[in-house]
Structure 1
Amino acid sequence: MNAQRLLTGFLTTGICTIVGCTHAASDGADDGPSGARTDASSTSVLRPASDIAWTPCGTAGGECATIRVPIDWAHPEGETFELAIGRKLALEPENRIGVLFLNPGGPGSSGIDAYITGQPSLDTSILRKRFDLVSWDPRGVARSHPVVCDADLFGQYDFAFPTTERAYRERIAFNAKLGENCRAHTGPLFDHVDTLSTVRDMDAIRNALGEEKLNYLGISYGTLIGQQYAEEFPARIRAMAIESNMDHSVTSTFRYLQMYTEDLEKSFLAFVDWCGRTPTCKLHGRDVAAIWDQLYEKATAGTLIDPKTGGALELAWLRFNLQVAIIAPSRWPGLAERIASLESGVPLSASARGMADERLLEAGYQPILCQDWKFEMRSFQEFDAYRRILEAMYPHTRMTIFWTQILDCLGFPVKVNNPQHRLSAPDAPPTLVVTSRYDPLAPHDGGVAVHRQLKGSVLLQDDNFGHIPSVRSLCARQTIETYLTTRVMPPKDAHCPAEFPEEAPPSMREAPPP
């Protein structure tokens, strides 16, 4: 299988419904119906709410429209583009609290696909009843002036770790060529797709809707949007919940790689432990870690065979698929089945896919990432030294697939418009920060760091392993819903209990959505 087609932007998706806690925020009361809307002053005054031309979209009651926003917020009088927005009006308008902005992560994921026209993941939630749900395609994504690149050149993207100085330099040269090609096809917006610009777009949407304040639920990379909105527009937030957080204060490239690799290794060891005590695990009673290590060595040598096709499977494919499959215990039964299949050479049945299919890389992913993060890397020797150190520290998983993020930005011809920094949002209302015990896509330490940087925030730890607690934890979903609707926080140091599967239903064995 060609590893160049695997998706790197898989920090996406999900949420739903849940129970009350204690410890109120500053006012602690249910706000009730929102009443009349009041415009707030903003530099993003582009169109009154009544002028937005909503049209039906999707099959679940969604409406879509566009507003015009500047390409460069530093020059709002300059060229503009159409930003695609979507909404679902509150099902109980008499009990409407306000608007709830949603972002599924990425970077480069479509909010309209995730929440407006896609699967109605929130339609049974109290959030759907009490809020107008609002999402959008961030600049450079899908319907919002997408980043465009030459397909043939884009298809040459390679996920293989460079093992020589020559391969390292060739990859950097490719990044430069690809970036210039995408800029030529996309135009000026290519250089203005950073998250800080997206934050200002979100405030423009709020203002265009005629809302004085917004509520926000951000997931994975979408947490960075929430964090920076709290810095830029703290007075325009009623309530905010962010889960599986990106810690944008990490400036050390090695520390960035180490955080993700540590949570990947610990998640893998938790999977091994679960398999050892769960009779329904396909590998129960066997040395799971040793079997995995053997597969890893075969993939490194180019001798790991796909039982279905008979072709060789690349190491990048194996690494990527472990990182995707390990992100929730609900996927662990399927992961065990796939590992057993790779070891035995017996193909899996169609209903038992424990790892991800190949996914196309989104063109907007790289320019957004590289305008948000400044990764320091002086040489191939330094890069390879990081690999060797991490492989010694974490002998089973070796190194997070997020080394690709570091390499993606080396030589990529964009300015880091939104570099890393510690959060400073002293005037923001209390924020609910949700994290997992271990999360290879948004490390636990990152969530704790964000909590410490956000004054007045409360940390909720889900004792499960993996990405996006509210997808699998009723406790996490209810806590998020309670806070967003009532602004009643959970107590300090709150935890949600771990939930380990005996056997996952077939739907949970499937690969995650793109």
Structure 2
Amino acid sequence: MRRRSTTGSLLVATALVSLCAPVAVANAAPTDSIAWSECGDKFKGECATIPVPLTWGKPGGEKINLAIGRLKATDPARRIGVLLANPGGPGGSGITSYITGRGIPDDSELRKRFDIISWDPRGVGLSNVVKCDKALLGRGPSAVPVTDAEFKALLAHNAELGADCRKNTGPLIDHVDTVHTVRDMDAIRAALGEEKVNFLGFSYGTQIGQQYAELFGKRLRAMVIDSNMDHSITSAYQYLETATRDLEGSFTEFADWCERTQPCALHGKDVRAVWDGLYAKAEAGKLTDPANGKSLTASALRDELFVAMYKPEQRWFPLATRLAALNTGERVAAAAAAPAELAENPYQAIWCQDWSWRVNGAAEFRSMLKRLERVAPHTRLSPFWGDITSCLGWPAKVTNPQHRLAVKDAPPILMVTAKYDVATPRDWNLAAAKQIKNAVLLNYDGVGHGQFSRSKCARGHIETYLTSLRLPAPNTHCAAEWPTTPPAQRMDDGALPRVPQG
């Protein structure tokens, strides 16, 4: 794992008109004419590129190559069609997630009945990735800007970084908003020769799905969007409050779980008191990381908690071990290593063309922080504060500003949410569902992000709908599935979610 409101205003309508007006995309012949070739190492798939306009505002102009991938249905006699899948981000590679990786397991009915199609969205991976100076990326502000000097430095850094990314990426950087990606997705459909497609999207991928349903609803057979964004939020405080509430809720569920789960390293202790004590020491600059002997900041401690909340089944036992070690000073490896600084920066480039934030200086941030401490006395602030600050001063137009959804022609859309989700809070899911008249909400009563991989019940309903078009009853609930034994793999196995900062 985004007013005072301009929703529905002339400003939003004007900003969207050039991209949301109908653009002709000729349907390809009934058969797929794409030049596929084998790709992948551990897992094999097929990969190719197709040309799409640099800007959909000028569909006959300069072209870029969009990297796409395919896994053919394993039961071709019962093949239904194609399933377009997006893992989220923004910045997630669909090819590494679903084609040369197996984000949809081989035993899934979806693998048997559909050709799985995914792609690296423009500005991501093999589709002209956004690149920036690595050293400059690493010099970004790491603290919430609560002084005038910090706020000024943040604006200056974002302006400098944006200019550098444009220099190193080229003109594509001005055309990476979600509407461009949605039109690319429809170009893939056309190139495949499919009249209608199915879609499965997670996290930020739900925003792609929502906006595809707005523009191309008639071209959908079925859609499932799991862990939803709400692209109608215009208030920076509302964004932070909803995200922080689910971080606090996730932490309290973790504390309750640990107190009733004997293998948890903090079992028998007051987990809330342990956390609050560690947090207070970190705020005072007195918490030492026994893994390296260095001081551990409150922000870094909170980031470790945040990352663990994505996947309780993998990360809660190691998180408890990590907190216990911090509490006693015992030397153990960090539970959740921070993602390495990379020269790629699609998240910020895409995000800041989709979201417009109004924050009037450091004083407003200080006021937000005080309010949030009352909302979440243990966790204080979601690390997604960086989703706000990373766009302040960013030198690019917001070409796909926030708006309420206007979905008219799409089939029923199955939307999946958790009780607590630090990346796409429940409030966002509920708000987005209210904006789609034919949405059906499926609830997972546990903690985590992406319920297809978390809940057997949710996965069953998702697969049933996509294969048979049978929906669960409205507001169906799937029981929480809590971890009972420590996982064999390390906590930091697999890709960790990006924690946007500065």
Q: TM-score, normalised by structure 1?
A: 0.89
Indicate whether 1:337 and 2:321 are aligned: yes
Partner of 1:346: 330
The residue that corresponds to 1:131 in the other structure is 114
Answering whether residue 193 of structure 2 is matched by residue 210 of structure 1, we say yes
Secondary structure class of the residue paired with 1:229: helix
Matched residues in 1 for 2:219 and 2:35: separation?
24
Shift of 1:511: 4.7
1:105 alignment partner, SS class:
coil
Contact 2:448 2:454 in 1 (8 A): no
**AA matched with 2:113:** R
Matched, 1:305 2:294: no
Matched, 1:220 2:203: yes
Q: 1:373, CA displacement in angstroms?
A: 0.8
Are positions 1:407 and 2:393 aligned together?
A: no
Q: Which residue is equivalent to 2:433?
A: 451
1:423, distance to aligned residue in structure 2 (A): 0.6
Give the Cα–Cα distance (whole angstroms) in 1 for the partners of residues 348 and 264 of structure 2.
38
Correspondence for 1:14: none
1:46, 1:67 within 8 Å by CA — same for their partners in 2? no
Q: Match of 2:249, as an amino acid?
A: K
Map 1:45-84 → 2, pairs under 5 A: 45=26, 50-59=32-41, 60-84=43-67
Name the stretch that deviates more: 228-237 or 331-340: 331-340
The match for 1:20 is none
Matched, 1:436 2:381: no
Aligned pairs for 1:164-203 (under 5 A) are 164-203=147-186
Q: CA-to-partner distance for each residue in 1:161-186, whole Å, 9 max, x for gaps?
A: 22321011101100001001111111
Is the 1:302–1:312 Cα contact (8 Å) retained in structure 2? Answer: yes
| Kept after mapping to 2: 8 A contact 1:261/1:400 | yes
The alpha carbon displacement at 1:43 in A equals 2.1
Distance across 1 between alignment mates of 2:493 and 2:242: 24
Contact 1:431 1:457 in 2 (8 A): yes
Report Cα offsets for 1:308-332 as digits up to 9, x if no partner.
Answer: 2111223332121111102333122
Asked if the contact 2:134/2:341 (under 8 Å) is kept, the reply is no
| Shift in alpha-carbon separation, 1:111–1:407, aligned structure 2, 3 A | same
What is the DSSP-based 3-state SS (H/G/I as helix, E as strand, rest coil) of the residue aligned with 1:507? coil
| 1:60-92, Cα deviation, whole Å (9 max, x unpaired) | 331000011111101111111000000011111
Which residue does the alignment assign to 1:359? 340
Give the 3 Å change call, closer, same or farther, for CA 384–314 of structure 1 in structure 2: same
* TM-superposed deviation, 1:50: 4.7
- Secondary structure at the aligned position of 1:389 is classed as helix
CA contact (8 A) 1:332 1:354 kept: no
1:270 Cα deviation from its structure 2 partner: 1.0
Query: How far is the alpha carbon of 1:274 from its aligned partner?
Result: 1.2
User: Deviations 1:275-324 (Å, cap 9, x if unpaired)?
Assistant: 12222211112111111112112222222212121112233321211111
The alpha-carbon deviation at position 158 of structure 1 amounts to 3.0
C-alpha distance in structure 1 between counterparts of 2:32 and 2:207, whole Å: 30
**2:297 corresponds to which residue?**
314
The separation in 1 between residues aligned to 2:156 and 2:383, in whole angstroms, is: 21
**Aligned counterparts of 2:432 and 2:264: Cα–Cα separation in 1:** 36
Equivalent residue in structure 2 for 1:460, among 420, 442, 465: 442
- Return the offset for 1:512: 4.7
Deviation, 1:392, is 2.4
The 2-side partners of 1:87 and 1:444 are apart by 32
Tell me, in whole angstroms, the C-alpha distance in 1 between the residues paired with 2:131 and 2:339.
Answer: 21
Q: Percent identity?
A: 52
- Residue 334 and residue 263 in structure 1: after superposition, are their counterparts in 2 closer, same or farther (change >3 A)? same
CA contact (8 A) 1:354 1:511 kept: no
SS state of the match for residue 65, structure 2? strand
Task: State the shift of 1:122 in Å.
Answer: 2.1
Runs of 5+ unmatched residues, structure 1: 1-9, 12-40
Separation in structure 1 between the aligned mates of residue 470 and residue 104 of structure 2, nearest angstrom: 23
Q: Deviations over 1:403-445 (max 9, x none)?
A: 1110000000111111111111022100000000111111011
Q: What's the offset of the Cα at 1:225?
A: 0.3
1:153 match: 136
How much has 1:118 moved relative to structure 2?
Answer: 2.0
Q: Structure 1 CA distance, aligned partners of 2:61 and 2:32?
A: 24
8 Å contact 2:137–2:341 — kept in the other structure?
A: no
Partner of 1:289: 272
Instruction: Using the TM superposition, give the Cα deviation of residue 96 of structure 1 relative to its aligned residue in structure 2, in angstroms.
Output: 0.6
What are the equivalent positions in structure 2 for 1:36-51 lying under 5 Å apart?
43-45=24-26, 50-51=32-33
Aligned residues: 473
Between the aligned partners of 1:358 and 1:504, the Cα distance in structure 2 is 23
| Cα drift, residue 359 of structure 1 | 3.2
Whether 1:280 aligns to 2:280 is: no
Distance 1:44 1:147 in 2: 26
Unaligned runs of 5+ in 2: 3-21, 497-502
Of the three residues 394, 401, 405, the one matched with 1:419 is 401
Query: 1:233 is paired with a residue of what secondary structure?
Result: helix
C-alpha displacement of 1:100: 0.2
Paired AA for residue 330 in structure 2: V
Q: Secondary structure, in 3 states, of the residue corresponding to 2:408?
A: coil
In the alignment, residue 360 of structure 1 is paired with which amino acid?
A: E
**Once the 2 structures are TM-superposed, how far is the Cα of residue 120 of structure 1 from its aligned partner?**
5.8
Task: Deviation per CA, 1:259-282: give whole Å up to 9, x if none.
Answer: 000011011111111112222211
Contact 2:104 2:111 in 1 (8 A): no
- Whether 1:472 aligns to 2:454 is yes
CA contact (8 A) 1:436 1:461 kept: yes
Equivalent residue letter for 1:416: V
**What is the distance in 2 between the residues matched to 1:406 and 1:229?**
25
Q: Distance in 2 between matches of 1:149 and 1:47?
A: 36
User: In structure 1, what is the equivalent of residue 13 of structure 2?
Assistant: none
Change (3 A) 1:287 1:222: same
Are the counterparts in 1 of residues 147 and 363 from structure 2 also a CA contact under 8 Å?
Answer: no
Q: Which has the higher contact order (CA 8 A, sep 6+)?
A: 1
2:477 to 489, 495, 498: 495
Amino acid at match of 1:418: N
Query: Contact 1:356/1:512 (CA < 8 Å) preserved in 2?
Result: no
SS of the aligned residue for 2:358 comes to coil
The aligned amino acid for 1:396 is H
Counterpart of 1:509 in 2: which secondary structure?
coil
- CA positional deviation for 1:238: 0.2
Using the alignment, how far apart are the partners of 1:512 and 1:339 within structure 2? 21
Are the equivalent residues in 1 in contact too, given 2:138–2:341 (CA < 8 A)? Answer: no
Matched to 1:513, the amino acid is A
Q: What is aligned with 2:234? A: 251
SS at match of 2:371: helix
Aligned position for 1:16:
none
